[in-house]
Amino acid sequence: MKPREALDHIKQRIQVNTASIEETHEALHVIQNLVDKSTQQKPVIIGSPADYNERCPNCNERVDIFADSRFCQKCGQALDWSDINGE
């Protein structure tokens, strides 16, 4: 089961079982944040091709393509450099 499938499964269970709903919603929120951060997102590109300024799509922190970083150093967001690296 993939993380997104697990999250969808839990969401369905919340609708069926209302016991301890506040704790369940809190757990769901934590899982949602983990799934979102582990899902690769393309950096936000600002500027011209000669002077790119790449930003994390989650926290807007500057990220460096030359550091070969797969994750934002500030928030941990998974980054997808495929468009920039030509992969």
Residues 17 and 48 grouped into a single domain: no
Residues 60 and 81 grouped into a single domain: yes
Single-letter amino acid, residue 32: Q
| Per-residue pLDDT of the chain in tens (87 residues, 90 and over written 9) | 777 777 777 777 776 665 577 777 777 888 888 888 888 999 888 876 666 788 999 999 999 877 768 899 899 999 998 877 665
Q: What is the dihedral of CA 40, 59, 67, 86, to 10 degrees?
A: 40
Residues 25 and 51 grouped into a single domain: no
Both structure tokens of 31: 């899982």
Residues 52 and 24 grouped into a single domain: no
Residues 55 and 28 grouped into a single domain: no
d(CA 1, CA 6): 6
Domain enclosing residue 71, as ranges: 44-85
CB 37 within 8 A of CB 80: no
pTM over 0.85: no
Place of tokens 């499938």: 5
Residues 53 and 28 grouped into a single domain: no
Residues 54 and 27 grouped into a single domain: no
CB 60 within 8 A of CB 44: yes
What is the count of structural domains for the chain? Answer: 2
Residues 7 and 34 grouped into a single domain: yes
